[in-house]
Amino acid sequence: MTRLAAFAALALVAGFARAASDPRVEEGRRVYNFRCYYCHGYSGDARTLAATMLPSAPRAFRGMRPDEMPRERIALAVANGVPGTAMKPFAGTLTPGEIAAVSAFVHDEFVVRNAGNTRYHTPENGWPRHERYAAAFPFAQGRIALDTPESRLSPAEKAGRRLYLESCITCHDRAKVADEGPVWERAPAPAR
């Protein structure tokens, strides 16, 4: 490894450590989990029911490279919106500190680390003992298709699917299915 390559690798690692230790990241997680996940997805993948109803798909952050989605670009989009998309400005809703925090969180959690926002279901966020829903996790995470025939599910999996449909589907609404059925076309807008 050349000296330049070694220096670049060290700088990259230092950048990751600096981003992860940024105190704004946790504040940004709180803002994101309250304001942004409806469209951009709990895991930053824009796979939500709300996203399917918008005229243009919201930005999916996971899998993007840091150079294509720098923190400053995120902050500008949050503050000013993005013309021609469903992304509206939040400058009148969020404080400048909240905009900086949510931008730091999105950049660190989804763009840099390609992580899944795993700290939402905590007691501090209103989820004491979230593990009690563990039977539903395979459906919420897509490990078991929601439309798996009843005869192929164990009693615990049947109970987990029931729990998912009764309690989890409101937020985790993009469960895996084996047969998506017919593809529905969006109806044309009514003429004015």
pLDDT tens digits, 32-58: 988 998 899 888 888 777 888 889 999
pLDDT at 148: 94
Residue 103 Rama label (left phi>0; alpha psi -120 to 50; beta): alpha
pLDDT at 11: 40
Q: DSSP string spanning 32-73?
A: HHHHTHHHH-TTSS--SHHHHTSSSPPPP-TT--TTTS-HHH
**What domains sit in the chain, N to C, each tagged with a CATH number?**
18-112 (1.10.760.10), 129-168 (no CATH)
3-state DSSP call for residue 86? coil
pLDDT at 19: 46
From CA 80, how far away is CA 62, in angstroms rounded? 22
Residue 117 Rama label (left phi>0; alpha psi -120 to 50; beta): left
Mean pLDDT for the chain overall: 82
Task: Point out the residues of the chain with pLDDT beneath 50.
Answer: 1-19
